[in-house]
Structures are given as C-alpha cells and as structure tokens.
Amino acid sequence: MLLHSLQSVLLVLALPAMLPAQAPLPSAPRRRASVGAEVGYSRTTLSGPDAQGLRSRQGAITGLFVQAPLGGPLSLRPELLFALKGGRAEASVEGGGTAQLDIELAYIEVPLLLRVGLPRGRVRPMLFGGPAGALQIGCDLQLIGSDQPVRSTCDAAEFAVFRQLDFALVVGGGIEVRWPQSSLSLEGRYTGGLRSVLDQFDVRNRGYGVVLALTF
C-alpha cells in the first residue's frame, strides 16, 4: 500500500516534465527611434502691422530629424533644418519708377515637434506641431526689374537691422506610407513667426511648405 502511494506521488511530480513545453506568448514589438531626411518647397512672406505691400517669395526647406516614440500614437520629433524665408516689396528706384525688392533670409532652424499618428497600418495619417528656434545665417537684398539689378547683403545696404534669432510655431500634417524598415511621408506645414525680424518694426516671418520626408 505504501509502495503504491509512493509511486503515485512520483508520477505526479514527473508529469510536468513529460508534457511538451509551451512556447511563450509573443510580445508586442517595441517601437524604436528612427532618423530621417526631408526636403521641400515653401512659399514665404513677411507679415505684421508694419509689413505693408509685402508679397510672398519662393523658399526651400531641407534637413534631418530624429523621431522617438513616446508611447501609443505619440512621438517626439526634433529637427535640424536649413530654411530660406523672406518676402518681396515694391521699392522706388532712382530716376523714377519702381522695382521688386526681394528680401532673402536664410536660417538654421530647430523645431521641436510633438507628432500624433496611427501606430499601425501601411498608410497612416498624422499631425504635428511645436515651437521652433532659428538662427539667421544670411540676409540678402536684390532689386528685380530695374535696368541695373542690384544685389547686396543687408549689412552692406544698411537697409535695416535684422535680428539674428527668430522664434516660431510650426503646425502641420500629412500621410505616411510605411515599410518594415522605413517610411515615406508627404507633409504640409505652416510656420508662423512669434518675433519681429527687425529691431524697429513689427515684421514677422510666415510660410507654408510642402515636404517629402524619408525615415529609416
């Protein structure tokens, strides 16, 4: 009787080892930080109470970014961009008549964007927005349409004192197409200046852009 009981206990203890091992449940894949490059076209102008008669000009946006997931649909996207901004105005020329005065401002811009997008799916809509700081690295003036076109830097022309630092708010959205290791997105964005680019007048940068961004 005792021997029979002992055999039953040993059988119970050995039963788990005799059963096939169960595979662990697959865990959800962790989203990783990614880097990317972007290039685009922009239409910029100078706006504000003292920006009378100014019109838009063509610009450009190029740069790099890092996209770091925060959880769920949110991710943080700091960018490092080269951006051309400015505007055009009517200017009087010697001898009578007018010509287009093209104001070209070049910046190194650093937006810090919060991005909201669907975490799954091949095609994903998304929105983004955040502040941006910018350092002016170039300022050129050109008279267009006069008999003798003139191009000069802002300092040489003594046109006005342009500030070196600018601050703006960036908002936008777009569509992203994803592959296993990369993605391509078409984005539209608006950048509105929060600070005047001139010392003595209230004139601010404003622009709309269309950007193609590749993430890998």
Q: Is 200 left (phi over 0), alpha (psi -120 to 50) or beta?
A: alpha
Q: Do residues 193 and 25 touch, judged by C-beta distance below 8 A? A: no
Sign of CA dihedral 173, 196, 50, 158: negative
Q: Residue written as tokens 């010697």?
A: 94
Which sequence spans correspond to the domains of the chain?
36-85+107-133+162-215
Bridge partners, residue 185, by sequence: 176, 213
Distances (CA, A) of 8 to 3, 13, 19, 140, 195: 9, 9, 17, 93, 84
Q: Do residues 104 and 63 touch, judged by C-beta distance below 8 A? A: no
Report the CATH number of the 36-85+107-133+162-215 domain: 2.40.160.20
> What string of pLDDT tens digits covers the 216 residues of the chain?
544 554 554 444 455 555 555 555 454 456 789 999 999 999 999 999 888 778 999 999 999 999 999 999 999 999 999 999 999 887 666 666 677 889 999 999 999 999 999 888 899 999 999 999 999 999 999 887 756 668 889 888 776 789 999 999 999 999 999 998 899 999 999 999 999 999 888 999 999 999 999 999
Q: How far apart are CA 209 and CA 211, in angstroms?
A: 6
Closest to 114 in 3D by CA, of 104, 98, 126: 126
What pLDDT, on a 0 to 100 scale, did the predictor assign at position 94?
61
